[in-house]
A and B are shown apart, each in its own frame.
Chain A
Protein backbone atom coordinates (compact mmCIF):
# COMPACT_ATOMS: atom_id res chain seq x y z
CA UNK A 1 0.00 0.00 0.00
CA UNK A 2 1.22 3.51 -0.65
CA UNK A 3 0.95 6.50 1.68
CA UNK A 4 -2.24 7.74 0.00
CA UNK A 5 -3.96 4.45 0.79
CA UNK A 6 -2.89 4.72 4.42
CA UNK A 7 -3.47 8.38 5.25
CA UNK A 8 -7.09 7.81 6.33
CA UNK A 9 -5.88 5.31 8.91
CA UNK A 10 -3.26 7.49 10.65
CA UNK A 11 -5.67 8.53 13.45
CA UNK A 12 -6.90 4.96 13.86
CA UNK A 13 -3.29 3.86 14.15
CA UNK A 14 -2.59 6.62 16.66
CA UNK A 15 -5.65 5.51 18.65
CA UNK A 16 -4.43 1.92 18.49
CA UNK A 17 -7.60 0.69 16.74
CA UNK A 18 -6.42 0.42 13.12
CA UNK A 19 -7.43 -2.90 11.58
CA UNK A 20 -5.27 -5.15 9.43
CA UNK A 21 -3.79 -4.79 6.88
CA UNK A 22 -3.52 -1.01 7.41
CA UNK A 23 -1.97 -1.38 10.89
CA UNK A 24 0.90 -3.59 9.65
CA UNK A 25 1.37 -1.47 6.52
CA UNK A 26 1.73 1.75 8.55
CA UNK A 27 4.13 0.00 10.93
CA UNK A 28 6.25 -1.05 7.93
CA UNK A 29 6.24 2.50 6.52
CA UNK A 30 7.28 3.93 9.91
CA UNK A 31 9.94 1.26 10.29
CA UNK A 32 11.55 2.21 7.01
CA UNK A 33 11.41 5.93 7.86
CA UNK A 34 8.64 6.96 5.42
CA UNK A 35 8.45 10.73 5.82
CA UNK A 36 4.77 11.02 4.80
CA UNK A 37 3.60 8.40 7.26
CA UNK A 38 5.91 9.61 10.06
CA UNK A 39 4.56 13.16 9.73
CA UNK A 40 0.96 11.95 9.40
CA UNK A 41 1.12 9.65 12.43
CA UNK A 42 2.93 12.32 14.48
CA UNK A 43 0.16 14.83 13.69
CA UNK A 44 -2.49 12.22 14.46
CA UNK A 45 -0.82 11.44 17.81
CA UNK A 46 -1.08 15.12 18.68
CA UNK A 47 -4.69 15.18 17.50
CA UNK A 48 -5.83 12.15 19.48
CA UNK A 49 -3.97 13.41 22.54
CA UNK A 50 -6.30 16.38 22.40
CA UNK A 51 -9.23 13.99 22.90
CA UNK A 52 -8.48 14.30 26.61
CA UNK A 53 -9.75 17.88 26.56
CA UNK A 54 -12.99 16.83 24.86
CA UNK A 55 -14.10 14.70 27.81
CA UNK A 56 -17.37 16.14 29.16
CA UNK A 57 -17.11 17.92 32.50
CA UNK A 58 -18.78 16.04 35.34
CA UNK A 59 -21.21 17.86 37.61
CA UNK A 60 -20.18 17.43 41.26
CA UNK A 61 -22.80 17.30 44.01
CA UNK A 62 -23.51 20.57 45.80
CA UNK A 63 -21.79 19.36 48.98
CA UNK A 64 -18.67 18.21 47.15
CA UNK A 65 -18.57 21.36 45.08
CA UNK A 66 -18.81 23.49 48.24
CA UNK A 67 -16.03 21.55 49.97
CA UNK A 68 -13.72 21.56 46.98
CA UNK A 69 -14.33 25.21 46.21
CA UNK A 70 -13.77 26.24 49.82
CA UNK A 71 -10.54 24.25 50.00
CA UNK A 72 -9.20 25.25 46.59
CA UNK A 73 -10.52 28.79 46.42
CA UNK A 74 -7.16 30.56 46.83
CA UNK A 75 -5.42 28.26 44.40
CA UNK A 76 -8.20 27.63 41.88
CA UNK A 77 -6.63 29.73 39.13
CA UNK A 78 -3.20 28.26 39.80
CA UNK A 79 -4.57 24.70 39.59
CA UNK A 80 -6.26 25.34 36.25
CA UNK A 81 -3.12 26.91 34.86
CA UNK A 82 -1.03 24.12 36.28
CA UNK A 83 -3.20 21.56 34.48
CA UNK A 84 -2.92 23.47 31.22
CA UNK A 85 0.86 23.76 31.65
CA UNK A 86 1.14 20.02 32.35
CA UNK A 87 -0.98 19.27 29.28
CA UNK A 88 1.18 21.46 27.07
CA UNK A 89 4.33 20.01 28.61
CA UNK A 90 3.06 16.48 27.90
CA UNK A 91 2.32 17.41 24.29
CA UNK A 92 5.76 18.94 23.96
CA UNK A 93 7.41 15.85 25.43
CA UNK A 94 5.43 13.61 23.07
CA UNK A 95 6.57 15.70 20.11
CA UNK A 96 10.20 15.60 21.30
CA UNK A 97 10.08 11.82 21.81
CA UNK A 98 8.49 11.27 18.37
CA UNK A 99 11.07 13.57 16.77
CA UNK A 100 13.92 11.83 18.58
CA UNK A 101 12.67 8.38 17.51
CA UNK A 102 12.45 9.59 13.94
CA UNK A 103 15.97 11.03 14.12
CA UNK A 104 17.32 7.77 15.52
CA UNK A 105 15.69 5.88 12.68
CA UNK A 106 17.17 8.26 10.11
CA UNK A 107 20.61 7.96 11.69
CA UNK A 108 20.32 4.18 11.65
CA UNK A 109 19.58 4.19 7.92
CA UNK A 110 22.43 6.63 7.25
CA UNK A 111 24.82 4.41 9.21
CA UNK A 112 23.78 1.34 7.23
CA UNK A 113 24.28 3.23 3.95
CA UNK A 114 27.73 4.43 5.05
CA UNK A 115 28.78 0.91 6.04
CA UNK A 116 27.66 -0.37 2.65
CA UNK A 117 29.61 2.42 0.93
CA UNK A 118 32.71 1.60 2.99
CA UNK A 119 32.46 -2.07 2.05
CA UNK A 120 32.13 -1.22 -1.68
CA UNK A 121 35.09 1.17 -1.42
CA UNK A 122 37.23 -1.52 0.19
CA UNK A 123 36.28 -4.00 -2.53
CA UNK A 124 37.02 -1.44 -5.23
CA UNK A 125 40.35 -0.59 -3.58
CA UNK A 126 41.31 -4.26 -3.39
CA UNK A 127 40.40 -4.75 -7.08
CA UNK A 128 42.44 -1.70 -8.10
CA UNK A 129 45.43 -2.93 -6.05
CA UNK A 130 45.22 -6.23 -7.96
CA UNK A 131 45.06 -4.44 -11.31
CA UNK A 132 48.01 -2.22 -10.35
CA UNK A 133 50.06 -5.23 -9.33
CA UNK A 134 49.28 -6.92 -12.69
CA UNK A 135 50.20 -3.76 -14.59
CA UNK A 136 53.55 -3.56 -12.73
CA UNK A 137 54.30 -7.18 -13.58
CA UNK A 138 53.46 -6.56 -17.25
CA UNK A 139 55.61 -3.44 -17.37
CA UNK A 140 58.54 -5.21 -15.75
CA UNK A 141 58.15 -8.09 -18.20
CA UNK A 142 58.16 -5.74 -21.21
CA UNK A 143 61.23 -3.84 -20.02
CA UNK A 144 63.49 -6.89 -19.93
CA UNK A 145 66.00 -6.83 -22.82
CA UNK A 146 65.69 -10.56 -23.58
CA UNK A 147 61.88 -10.32 -24.09
CA UNK A 148 60.87 -11.10 -27.68
CA UNK A 149 57.54 -10.32 -29.26
CA UNK A 150 55.40 -11.38 -32.20
CA UNK A 151 52.35 -9.57 -33.56
CA UNK A 152 49.17 -11.28 -34.75
CA UNK A 153 46.22 -9.69 -36.51
CA UNK A 154 43.77 -12.02 -38.23
CA UNK A 155 40.57 -12.03 -36.16
CA UNK A 156 41.79 -11.25 -32.67
CA UNK A 157 44.66 -8.76 -32.77
CA UNK A 158 47.57 -8.29 -30.41
CA UNK A 159 51.02 -9.36 -29.39
CA UNK A 160 52.72 -12.28 -27.70
CA UNK A 161 55.77 -11.54 -25.56
CA UNK A 162 58.10 -14.37 -24.63
CA UNK A 163 60.89 -14.19 -22.09
CA UNK A 164 63.00 -17.28 -21.37
CA UNK A 165 63.15 -16.51 -17.65
CA UNK A 166 59.68 -15.02 -17.10
CA UNK A 167 57.27 -16.93 -19.35
CA UNK A 168 54.72 -15.75 -21.90
CA UNK A 169 52.52 -12.64 -21.94
CA UNK A 170 49.46 -12.12 -24.16
CA UNK A 171 48.01 -8.71 -25.03
CA UNK A 172 44.92 -9.18 -27.20
CA UNK A 173 42.03 -7.13 -28.57
CA UNK A 174 38.98 -7.82 -30.79
CA UNK A 175 38.28 -11.02 -28.87
CA UNK A 176 34.74 -12.28 -29.61
CA UNK A 177 32.19 -12.08 -26.79
CA UNK A 178 31.82 -15.29 -24.80
CA UNK A 179 28.53 -17.10 -24.23
CA UNK A 180 27.34 -17.87 -20.72
CA UNK A 181 29.38 -20.54 -18.90
CA UNK A 182 32.37 -20.10 -21.24
CA UNK A 183 35.91 -18.83 -20.69
CA UNK A 184 39.08 -18.32 -22.69
CA UNK A 185 41.95 -20.77 -22.08
CA UNK A 186 45.54 -20.05 -23.05
CA UNK A 187 47.71 -22.88 -24.36
CA UNK A 188 51.48 -23.35 -24.71
CA UNK A 189 52.30 -25.80 -27.51
CA UNK A 190 55.84 -27.31 -27.24
CA UNK A 191 57.48 -28.60 -30.42
CA UNK A 192 56.06 -32.04 -31.29
CA UNK A 193 53.91 -32.25 -28.12
CA UNK A 194 50.31 -31.73 -27.01
CA UNK A 195 49.12 -28.29 -25.85
CA UNK A 196 49.76 -27.46 -22.19
CA UNK A 197 47.06 -25.48 -20.32
CA UNK A 198 48.44 -22.05 -19.33
CA UNK A 199 45.58 -20.41 -17.52
CA UNK A 200 42.07 -19.06 -17.97
CA UNK A 201 41.15 -15.45 -18.70
CA UNK A 202 38.26 -13.24 -19.77
CA UNK A 203 38.11 -10.18 -21.96
CA UNK A 204 36.63 -6.84 -20.94
CA UNK A 205 33.53 -5.32 -22.59
CA UNK A 206 35.71 -4.01 -25.45
CA UNK A 207 37.10 -7.48 -26.22
CA UNK A 208 40.52 -6.72 -24.72
CA UNK A 209 42.50 -9.03 -22.47
CA UNK A 210 45.90 -9.32 -20.83
CA UNK A 211 47.05 -12.73 -19.68
CA UNK A 212 50.40 -13.90 -18.35
CA UNK A 213 51.68 -17.43 -18.13
CA UNK A 214 54.51 -16.64 -15.72
CA UNK A 215 57.45 -18.94 -15.09
CA UNK A 216 56.36 -21.29 -17.90
CA UNK A 217 59.20 -23.81 -18.08
CA UNK A 218 60.96 -24.38 -21.37
CA UNK A 219 59.51 -21.49 -23.34
CA UNK A 220 62.48 -21.76 -25.68
CA UNK A 221 61.03 -25.09 -26.88
CA UNK A 222 57.62 -23.62 -27.72
CA UNK A 223 56.34 -24.05 -31.27
CA UNK A 224 53.19 -21.93 -30.77
CA UNK A 225 50.66 -20.54 -28.35
CA UNK A 226 46.89 -20.72 -28.77
CA UNK A 227 43.59 -19.50 -27.34
CA UNK A 228 40.44 -21.60 -27.27
CA UNK A 229 36.97 -21.16 -25.80
CA UNK A 230 36.36 -23.70 -23.03
CA UNK A 231 33.64 -24.46 -20.49
CA UNK A 232 33.87 -22.50 -17.24
CA UNK A 233 36.67 -23.97 -15.13
CA UNK A 234 38.80 -24.82 -18.17
CA UNK A 235 39.88 -28.10 -19.73
CA UNK A 236 43.08 -30.19 -19.56
CA UNK A 237 43.09 -30.31 -23.38
CA UNK A 238 41.35 -28.03 -25.91
CA UNK A 239 37.75 -29.11 -26.53
CA UNK A 240 37.12 -26.67 -29.40
CA UNK A 241 39.00 -25.39 -32.40
CA UNK A 242 41.30 -22.60 -31.16
CA UNK A 243 40.19 -19.10 -32.12
CA UNK A 244 43.84 -18.10 -32.36
CA UNK A 245 47.15 -19.93 -32.96
CA UNK A 246 50.38 -17.89 -33.03
CA UNK A 247 53.46 -19.58 -34.45
CA UNK A 248 56.59 -18.82 -32.41
CA UNK A 249 59.11 -20.76 -34.50
CA UNK A 250 61.94 -18.57 -35.69
CA UNK A 251 61.24 -16.09 -32.88
CA UNK A 252 63.10 -17.92 -30.13
Chain B
Protein backbone atom coordinates (compact mmCIF):
# COMPACT_ATOMS: atom_id res chain seq x y z
CA UNK B 1 0.00 0.00 0.00
CA UNK B 2 2.71 2.50 0.95
CA UNK B 3 4.68 1.75 -2.21
CA UNK B 4 1.53 2.16 -4.30
CA UNK B 5 0.94 5.53 -2.69
CA UNK B 6 4.57 6.53 -3.31
CA UNK B 7 4.90 5.10 -6.80
CA UNK B 8 1.48 5.61 -8.34
CA UNK B 9 0.27 8.65 -6.41
CA UNK B 10 3.60 10.35 -5.77
CA UNK B 11 2.99 10.88 -2.05
CA UNK B 12 5.85 11.70 0.30
CA UNK B 13 6.21 9.75 3.54
CA UNK B 14 4.77 12.70 5.47
CA UNK B 15 1.79 12.85 3.07
CA UNK B 16 1.28 9.10 3.51
CA UNK B 17 1.26 9.57 7.29
CA UNK B 18 -1.43 12.26 6.96
CA UNK B 19 -3.46 10.16 4.52
CA UNK B 20 -3.40 7.01 6.68
CA UNK B 21 -3.43 8.91 10.00
CA UNK B 22 -0.42 6.90 11.13
CA UNK B 23 2.74 8.29 12.77
CA UNK B 24 5.58 9.12 10.36
CA UNK B 25 7.80 6.54 12.09
CA UNK B 26 5.23 3.80 11.34
CA UNK B 27 5.11 4.83 7.68
CA UNK B 28 8.89 4.72 7.49
CA UNK B 29 8.89 1.21 8.98
CA UNK B 30 6.26 0.09 6.47
CA UNK B 31 8.20 1.59 3.57
CA UNK B 32 11.42 -0.05 4.71
CA UNK B 33 9.65 -3.40 5.06
CA UNK B 34 7.98 -3.09 1.66
CA UNK B 35 11.26 -2.18 0.00
CA UNK B 36 12.95 -5.14 1.66
CA UNK B 37 10.28 -7.49 0.26
CA UNK B 38 10.69 -5.85 -3.14
CA UNK B 39 14.46 -6.25 -2.92
CA UNK B 40 14.08 -9.90 -2.01
CA UNK B 41 11.56 -10.59 -4.76
CA UNK B 42 13.00 -8.50 -7.57
CA UNK B 43 16.62 -8.03 -6.55
CA UNK B 44 17.81 -11.01 -8.54
CA UNK B 45 15.91 -9.92 -11.63
CA UNK B 46 17.51 -6.46 -11.46
CA UNK B 47 20.97 -7.82 -10.67
CA UNK B 48 20.66 -10.13 -13.68
Inter-chain contact A15/B6, CB cutoff 8 Å: yes
Interface residue count on the A side (C-beta < 8 Å):
16
Closest A residue to B7 using CB positions: A51
Interface residue count on the B side (C-beta < 8 Å):
22
Bound form: Cα–Cα A127–B47 in Å: 54
Determine the chain A residues whose CB is within 8 A of the CB of B42 once the complex forms: 47, 50, 54
Interface of B is mostly: helix
Inter-chain contact B38/A47, CB cutoff 8 Å: yes
Interface of A is mostly: helix
Given A12-B31, A17-B31, A43-B46, do A48 and B13 touch, yes or no (CB 8 Å)?
no
Shortest CB–CB separation between residue A135 and chain B, in angstroms?
63
Determine the chain A residues whose CB is within 8 A of the CB of B13 once the complex forms: 12, 17, 19
Interface residues of B in 1-48 (CB under 8 A from A): 3-4, 6-8, 10-14, 16, 31-32, 35, 38-39, 41-43, 45-47
Pairs of residues from A and B, 3 with the lowest C-beta to C-beta distance, nearest first: A46-B46, A50-B42, A11-B35
Q: Contact residues of B with A, CB < 8 Å?
A: 3-4, 6-8, 10-14, 16, 31-32, 35, 38-39, 41-43, 45-47
